[in-house]
């Protein structure tokens, strides 16, 4: 059986791979799996549905709402909000599950469906597999009459609840800080600007006018050069770049230098340790994090625990070890005491709070970590699951690791969301990283 779920939910070209019929069935199956323990309750189970502003979201929202209601679940549609807002609201409303319709940083024609369990937690692989198995065995014998679910078109206070939560999570006055915010014409376009201004920052918004078609288009965290240009143009203290569903945050310092997720984690980890808030003096990161992060944290007396790529794996490790900070180089930062998943706006507020508390510039704070030169090449492939079975690829990896020694590393892995194979090489010198990565990418492409 081909696995339907990827690294972060079900994702694909909307109305082709991800059709309304598929969304309907996913809703029905999720209702059966995620509300199974509610059968004896008098009240019907409840689901929260949110989406980013891309055009196909309206269609998929309607389909998945119908699927849930057809299996007896009351649905509250909260409209355009960030993914972490849906995770928060699932918990805040006491809902049985949450659904976010978004393809995150992917181009507008794509879309995706992410599920949250009660409490706003992302689903483990085993539960996703159970939903897929249930979907393939669905019958037409759903409830009827009074047992059908209801659909509430809009929740009037959802955005306000989320903004209030952000303010309470980071109650620091950010007056005096001028920040450029690139909302990627996505789900953060309104709420991020409001949240930063309510915290006292002077906000220069860019790419905050979504029209259903322009999400992630030459903007946001995947086109951070736009944020760099705006920071220099407006003389801002920093810039923050979100992706389409605002679960990521990358930063730019006042001189236009990019501060990635690894550096943001390093800054927050050091601050949390100083304030005795970094439980077990441990940071959770993925295998994609720069080797420089490990070296910097070792110098600070902080342990780094590694997981597979994907913020849900970071969350699983955070829960398992009762840790208080984790994330990814891509800008997913997880602060589990305040949100059960990566929250780009919360990350931005936390980063600016560290600047306000210390009086230091972002460049000064980021200097705690030296980023080793890293080259990442995405290789289009027709069958990404077979690449690491190739003897030529395995031999090339072994030769590259021997060449780099302890001063670098090699990581090859399939993308969880696209038909790509990612080749990542770190080395002491940028030119060496580029050469080794290029050589490996060519061998992967041939394989």
Residues labelled catalytic? 104
Does 247 show up as a binding residue in the annotation?
yes
Helix axes 191-198, 344-358, angle to 10 degrees: 20
Half-sphere exposure of 286 (CA within 13 A, CB side): 22
d(CA 254, CA 169): 26
**Does the annotation list 243 as a binding residue?**
yes
Q: Quick check: 81 and 61 in contact, CB under 8 A?
A: no
Smallest CA-to-CA distance from 149 within 46, 74, 62, 97 is with 74
Show the tokens assigned to 417. 């969301």
Q: What is the dihedral of CA 215, 216, 219, 223, to 10 degrees?
A: 180
**Is 8 annotated among the ligand-binding residues?**
no
Find out whether 275 and 303 touch, Cβ atoms under 8 Å.
Answer: no
- Three-state secondary structure call for residue 304: strand
Asked if 210 and 204 touch (Cβ cutoff 8 Å), the reply is no
Please tell me the distance from the alpha carbon of residue 90 to that of residue 120, in angstroms, as a whole number.
Answer: 5
* Pairwise CA distance, residues 349 & 352, whole Å: 5
Radius of gyration of the chain (CA): 22
Q: Per the annotation, where are the binding residues for Mg(2+)?
A: 104, 243, 245, 247
List binding-site positions.
104, 243, 245, 247
């Amino acid at each position: 059986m081909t696995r339907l779920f990827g690294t972060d939910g079900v994702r694909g070209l909307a109305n082709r791979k991800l059709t309304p019929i598929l969304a309907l069935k996913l809703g029905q199956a999720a209702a059966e799996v995620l509300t199974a323990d509610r059968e004896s309750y008098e009240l019907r189970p409840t689901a929260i549905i949110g989406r980013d502003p891309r055009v196909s979201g309206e269609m998929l929202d309607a389909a998945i709402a119908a699927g849930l209601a057809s299996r007896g679940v009351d649905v509250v549609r909260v409209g355009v909000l960030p993914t972490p807002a849906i995770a928060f609201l699932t918990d805040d409303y006491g809902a049985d599950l949450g659904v976010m319709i978004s393809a995150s940083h992917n181009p507008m024609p794509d879309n995706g469906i992410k599920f949250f369990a009660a409490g706003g937690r992302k689903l483990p692989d085993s539960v996703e597999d159970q939903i897929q198995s249930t979907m393939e065995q669905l019958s037409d014998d759903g409830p009827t009459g009074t047992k059908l679910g209801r659909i509430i078109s809009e929740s009037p206070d959802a955005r306000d609840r989320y903004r209030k939560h952000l303010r309470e999570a980071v109650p620091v006055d950010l007056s005096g800080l001028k920040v450029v915010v690139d909302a990627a014409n996505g789900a953060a376009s309104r709420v991020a600007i409001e949240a930063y201004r309510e915290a006292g920052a002077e906000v220069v918004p860019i790419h905050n006018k979504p029209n259903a078609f322009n999400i992630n288009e030459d903007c946001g965290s995947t086109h951070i050069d736009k944020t760099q240009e705006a920071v220099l143009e407006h003389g801002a203290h920093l810039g923050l770049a979100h992706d389409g569903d605002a679960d990521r945050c990358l930063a730019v310092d006042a001189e236009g230098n990019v501060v990635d997720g690894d550096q943001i984690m390093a800054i927050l980890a050091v601050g949390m340790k100083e304030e005795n808030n970094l439980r077990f003096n441990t940071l959770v990161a993925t295998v994609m994090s720069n080797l420089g992060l490990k070296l910097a944290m070792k110098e600070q007396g902080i342990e780094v625990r590694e997981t597979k790529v994907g913020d849900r794996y970071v969350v699983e490790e955070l829960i398992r070890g009762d840790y208080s900070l984790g994330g990814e180089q891509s800008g997913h930062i997880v602060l589990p005491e305040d949100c059960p998943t990566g929250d780009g706006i919360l990350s931005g507020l936390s980063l600016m709070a560290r600047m306000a508390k210390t009086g230091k510039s972002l460049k000064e704070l980021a200097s705690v970590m030296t980023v080793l030169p890293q080259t990442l090449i995405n290789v289009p492939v027709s069958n990404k699951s077979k690449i690491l079975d190739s003897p030529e690829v395995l031999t090339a990896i072994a030769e590259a690791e021997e060449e780099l020694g302890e001063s670098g590393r090699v990581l090859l892995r399939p993308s969880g969301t696209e038909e790509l194979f990612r080749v990542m090489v770190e080395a002491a010198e940028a030119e060496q990283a580029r050469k080794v990565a290029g050589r490996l990418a060519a061998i992967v492409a041939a394989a």
